[in-house]
């Protein structure tokens, strides 16, 4: 394990693109990494005095297929299996350097690789990884419960160790997290069988009803307190459909009634202040459906808030990066 001071680690960011769109029903998210870069993501992070290394886009073109039996209800299983294996391996390598990975998607199936990588890394270090799932959907289906067979709707279930995609990683080590370390936030669309599974597993869900009643500050504060109490690290998996479609139209699975501009920024600002964030996904941006890059720009602005962009200076315990390992 690389020995690195907290102050050095807090300044280093590693960007990795994952142009994958087979996990969703609407194609086009493979253009997401390019759109986020074009909208100025790297430039903004560098302006925040962060040392950013852009590793470009991951490729699975030369990766051999495995021979395990594909589940009956898992669309494009073989292609997504290649991406999951590649992302898990590369994400783990990046995490071991001490840099903070930002994974640019791509549809939400990429989190099956990115989160596995981070969970494996922090397990090696001896700390628990928690996952904040900012998403209109729970994504807690399995091949046995899914209505669509689209694998971006199975990502959260897979990372919590649910059955049905057991061969997805091949020989790559699997590092599932306990369901009590998954925090669904902003949820407003859950399938019936998926809801039963979430209840059986006691997964925490802060749906839009809770946000309407208490605002975003109370439930985000609860999550922060929970992670801090267990000396955990937080992975933020940010699906742009967490936002209201009026604010972010460039997604293939829009659901009315999402987070407002200020609600979303407050979430990111509070996460920054917490000092617990160790990795990030930005997923489901579909430039083909966007309006002159509006969704990409909003997503970049929100990542800026997550990493310290603010109106006035405030006393905070960190600059959004988890303590060193």
Please tell me which residue in 135, 172, 244, 290 is annotated as part of the active site: 135
Would residue 107 show up in a list of annotated catalytic residues for this protein?
no
Whether residue 18 contacts residue 33, with contact meaning beta carbons closer than 8 Å, is answered with yes
Would residue 68 show up in a list of annotated catalytic residues for this protein?
no
Distinct helix (H) and strand (E) counts, the chain:
11, 8
Would residue 163 show up in a list of annotated catalytic residues for this protein?
no
By CB neighbour count within 10 A (0-12 exposed, 13-18 middle, 19+ buried), where does 149 fall?
middle
**Which of 66, 76, 79, 63 has the alpha carbon at shortest distance from 143?**
76
Would residue 135 show up in a list of annotated catalytic residues for this protein?
yes
Please tell me which residue in 21, 139, 162, 172 is annotated as part of the active site: 139
Please tell me which residue in 76, 121, 152, 272 is annotated as part of the active site: 152
**The total number of residues written for the chain in this structure:** 325
Torsion sign across C-alpha atoms 188, 115, 87, 101: positive
What region does 109 belong to: left with phi over 0, alpha with psi -120 to 50, or beta? alpha
Strands 129-134 and 51-57: unpaired
Please tell me which residue in 107, 172, 239, 269 is annotated as part of the active site: 239
Please tell me which residue in 121, 137, 265, 272 is annotated as part of the active site: 137
Please tell me which residue in 76, 108, 265, 272 is annotated as part of the active site: 108
Would residue 139 show up in a list of annotated catalytic residues for this protein?
yes
| Residue 16 parent element (H or E) | strand 12-18
Would residue 313 show up in a list of annotated catalytic residues for this protein?
no
Would residue 272 show up in a list of annotated catalytic residues for this protein?
no
Would residue 57 show up in a list of annotated catalytic residues for this protein?
no
Q: How many CA atoms lie within 13 A of 205 on its CB side?
A: 24
Please tell me which residue in 162, 172, 183, 241 is annotated as part of the active site: 241
Q: Which residues are catalytic?
A: 108, 135, 137, 139, 152, 239, 241, 284
């Amino acid at each position: 394990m690389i020995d690195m001071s907290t102050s050095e680690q807090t300044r280093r960011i590693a960007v990795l693109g994952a142009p994958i769109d087979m996990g969703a029903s609407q194609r086009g998210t493979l253009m997401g990494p390019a759109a986020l870069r074009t909208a100025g993501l790297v430039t903004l992070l560098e302006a925040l005095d962060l040392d950013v290394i852009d590793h470009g886009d991951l490729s699975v073109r030369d990766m051999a297929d495995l021979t395990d039996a594909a589940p009956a209800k898992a669309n494009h299983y073989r292609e997504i299996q290649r991406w999951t294996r590649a992302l898990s391996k590369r994400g783990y390598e990046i995490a071991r350097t001490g840099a903070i990975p930002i994974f640019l998607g791509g549809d939400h199936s990429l989190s099956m690789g990115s989160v596995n990588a981070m969970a494996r890394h922090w397990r090696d270090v001896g700390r628990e990884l928690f996952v904040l799932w900012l998403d209109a959907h729970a994504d807690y289906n399995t091949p046995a419960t899914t209505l669509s067979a689209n694998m971006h709707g199975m990502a959260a279930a897979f990372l919590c160790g649910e059955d049905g995609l057991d061969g997805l990683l091949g020989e790559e080590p699997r590092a599932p997290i306990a369901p009590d370390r998954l925090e669904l936030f902003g949820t407003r669309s859950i399938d019936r069988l998926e809801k039963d599974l979430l209840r059986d597993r006691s997964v925490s869900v802060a749906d839009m009803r809770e946000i309407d009643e208490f605002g975003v500050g109370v439930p985000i504060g609860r999550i922060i307190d929970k992670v801090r109490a267990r000396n955990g690290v937080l992975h933020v998996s940010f699906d742009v459909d967490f936002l209201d479609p009026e604010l972010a139209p460039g997604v293939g699975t829009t659901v009315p009634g999402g987070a407002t501009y200020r609600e979303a920024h407050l979430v990111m600002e509070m996460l920054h202040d917490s000092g617990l964030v160790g990795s990030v996904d930005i997923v489901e941006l579909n430039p083909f459906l966007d309006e002159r890059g509006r969704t990409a720009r909003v997503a970049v602005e929100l990542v800026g808030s997550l990493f310290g962009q603010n109106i006035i200076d405030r006393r905070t315990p960190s600059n959004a990066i988890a303590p060193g390992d």
